[in-house]
């Protein structure tokens, strides 16, 4: 357990360092209560991280330890990240209600889900709005998925095995360089898109940064109560492009920004584009919305960002089902997007004819994806994850419907939580129990279920 806690301490310290941005904003805007809450949160991150590093030791983690670490990181980030919401007292009700809503808002940010329980964010301190946006960026750029491999660069064979199953197998070599590339590329994207919003008319820096943090991390927290109020001078197209950039495979994005265009386009990218275009055409005709609004919400669903300017409850069931499918698939592998990933959909499409050929000819022909051979174990795991997702969604939807909620609306809400999207019908806003259920689904969706399953299986074996 000590190696897990040591690595957990490292992650918490990194989170503490990143608190410098909302702290600086609190000083700039003179928002004392929010500033105090940021200092408390940063201190909790630093002190707990320091103690864990001081009294525990770091060593290479196996798959079980890595799985436990991934789960613990999100839970603790969610708990500590709830401090500013509690301290500033942004939610009403008794203490448990405030704690529930604060944890829900925090975990929604760190998992890049974008579900929000805030009735009127325009009344919030500006620095708190910025903090809320930053939590998505921290989760989106991979404070877990990228740093997990960083713990033991060059000798993390067991850790990389888990990484390979969740789509980060190419990160293992030269991880220090990759970490710097991740921070550099996503920081540059934030600067470019935030500057674009500023020059297009969004003069309030905290709102522009928060919107871009949400878009690039495919998080979806809106920095204003009415997101449509930002849609002037083509700002919606800037946000659409930022959402799309966040959902692109990091390695492809790196090559594109390095102007190596011929190496950038992969089959997964082409399929992703096809899904967006096909989804837009069908959604436009069945939703009854104008083409601009339709395209924006299709991009929002496909990238699992969750920005919305319409009342989802008023959509027809066919329109909801289209968004449900797009959210479930999600964005590209090794991106900030959620969902099962386009890569796994592509594997499924190729798996059917491949398995038929192997059965008929009794050959050992490997399945080739993006020019690389996959062994049978990899194929099985990549197909198992969507099946586990369907099972989790089915059980959760059943719980929702038992409370008297409509099936389609329940399905929409659960898939949105699993895919860490945040498009919402708001049907769970009044139920504390459903909020905790959705928070758990968001965590499982962000870690892609497999690490949690590994934990359960290992625990079951230990009890025998």
Taking the model in full, what pTM does it have? 0.87
Measured CA to CA in angstroms, residue 203 lies from 175, 191, 225, 237 at distances of 38, 14, 17, 17
Using CA atoms, how far apart are residues 209 and 314, in angstroms rounded to an integer? 30
pLDDT of residue 275: 94
Look at the block and give the residue holding tokens 């809450």.
37
Using CA atoms, how far apart are residues 423 and 338, in angstroms rounded to an integer? 13
19's enclosing H/E stretch is none
How remote is the C-alpha of 389 from its chain's centroid? Answer: 15
Using CA atoms, how far apart are residues 169 and 173, in angstroms rounded to an integer? 9
Using CA atoms, how far apart are residues 208 and 210, in angstroms rounded to an integer? 6
Q: Which of 247, 206, 243, 237 is CA-nearest to residue 224?
A: 206
372's enclosing H/E stretch is strand 372-374
Look at the block and give the residue holding tokens 């230990």.
462
What is the DSSP track for 234-295?
THHHHHHHHHHHHTS-HHHHHHHHTT-GGGT--HHHHHHHHHHHHHHHHHHHHH---HHHHH
pLDDT of residue 155: 40
Let me know: does 98 contact 86? Beta carbons within 8 Å.
yes
Residue 128 makes CB contacts below 8 A (sequence gap 6+) with: 22, 31, 34, 37, 84, 85, 88, 90
- Domain positions in the chain are 266-463
pLDDT of residue 435: 93
Using CA atoms, how far apart are residues 150 and 230, in angstroms rounded to an integer? 38
pLDDT of residue 230: 67
Q: Tens digit of pLDDT per residue, the chain (464 long)?
A: 776 777 778 778 888 888 999 999 999 999 999 999 999 999 999 888 888 877 766 666 666 777 777 788 888 999 999 999 999 999 988 999 999 999 999 999 999 888 888 878 888 999 999 999 999 888 877 654 554 454 444 444 444 454 555 455 544 445 556 667 777 888 888 899 988 888 887 778 888 888 888 889 888 888 887 777 766 657 788 888 999 988 888 777 777 766 665 554 578 888 999 999 999 999 999 998 989 889 999 999 999 998 888 888 889 999 999 999 999 999 888 788 888 888 888 888 888 887 877 777 766 777 777 667 777 777 777 788 888 889 999 999 999 999 988 999 999 999 999 998 888 888 877 789 999 999 999 998 888 777 777 776 666 565 55
Look at the block and give the residue holding tokens 């789509």.
167
The dihedral formed by the CA atoms of 404, 435, 75 and 20, expressed in degrees to the nearest 10: 150
Using CA atoms, how far apart are residues 414 and 424, in angstroms rounded to an integer? 9
Residue 332 makes CB contacts below 8 A (sequence gap 6+) with: 247, 248, 249, 252, 268, 269, 272, 341, 342, 343
| Residues shown for the chain | 464
């Amino acid at each position: 357990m000590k190696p897990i806690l040591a690595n957990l301490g490292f992650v918490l310290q990194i989170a503490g360092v990143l608190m410098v941005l909302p702290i600086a904003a609190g000083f700039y805007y003179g928002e004392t209560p929010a500033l105090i809450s940021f200092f408390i949160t940063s201190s909790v991150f630093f002190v707990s991280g320091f103690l864990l590093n001081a009294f525990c030791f770091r060593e290479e983690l196996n798959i079980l330890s890595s799985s436990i670490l991934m789960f613990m990181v999100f839970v603790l980030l969610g708990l500590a990240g709830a401090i500013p919401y509690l301290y500033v007292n942004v939610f009403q009700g008794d203490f448990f209600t405030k704690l529930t809503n604060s944890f829900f808002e925090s975990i929604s940010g760190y998992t890049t889900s974008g579900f929000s329980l805030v009735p009127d964010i325009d009344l919030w301190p500006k620095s708190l709005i910025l903090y809320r946006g930053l939590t998505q960026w921290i989760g989106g750029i991979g404070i877990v998925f990228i740093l997990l491999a960083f713990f033991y660069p060059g000798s993390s064979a067991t850790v990389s095995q888990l990484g390979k199953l969740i789509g980060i197998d190419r990160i293992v070599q030269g991880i220090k360089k990759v970490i710097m590339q991740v921070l550099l590329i996503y920081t540059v994207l934030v600067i470019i898109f935030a500057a674009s919003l500023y020059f297009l008319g969004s003069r309030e820096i905290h709102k522009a940064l928060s919107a871009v943090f949400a878009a690039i991390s495919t998080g979806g927290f809106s920095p204003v109560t009415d997101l449509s109020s930002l849609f002037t001078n083509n700002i919606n197209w800037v946000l659409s492009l930022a959402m799309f950039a966040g959902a692109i495979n990091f390695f492809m994005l790196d090559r594109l920004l390095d102007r190596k265009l011929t190496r950038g386009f992969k089959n997964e990218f082409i399929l992703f584009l096809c899904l967006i275009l096909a989804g837009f055409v069908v959604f436009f005709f069945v939703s009854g919305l104008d083409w601009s609004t339709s395209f924006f919400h299709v991009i929002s669903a496909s990238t699992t960002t969750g920005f919305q300017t319409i009342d989802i409850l008023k959509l027809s069931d066919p329109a909801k089902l289209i968004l449900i499918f797009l959210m479930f698939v999600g964005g590209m592998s090794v991106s900030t997007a959620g969902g099962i990933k386009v890569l796994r959909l592509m594997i499924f499409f190729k798996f059917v004819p491949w398995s038929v050929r192997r059965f008929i000819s009794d050959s050992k022909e490997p399945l080739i994806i993006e020019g690389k051979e996959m062994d049978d174990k990899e194929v099985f795991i990549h197909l198992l994850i969507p099946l586990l997702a369907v099972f989790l969604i089915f059980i959760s939807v059943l719980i929702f419907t038992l409370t008297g909620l409509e099936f389609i609306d329940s399905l929409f809400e659960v898939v949105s939580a699993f895919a860490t999207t945040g498009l919402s019908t708001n049907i769970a806003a009044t139920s504390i129990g459903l909020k905790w259920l959705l928070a758990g689904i968001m965590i499982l969706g962000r870690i892609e279920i497999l690490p949690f399953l590994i934990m359960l299986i290992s625990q079951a074996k230990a009890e025998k």
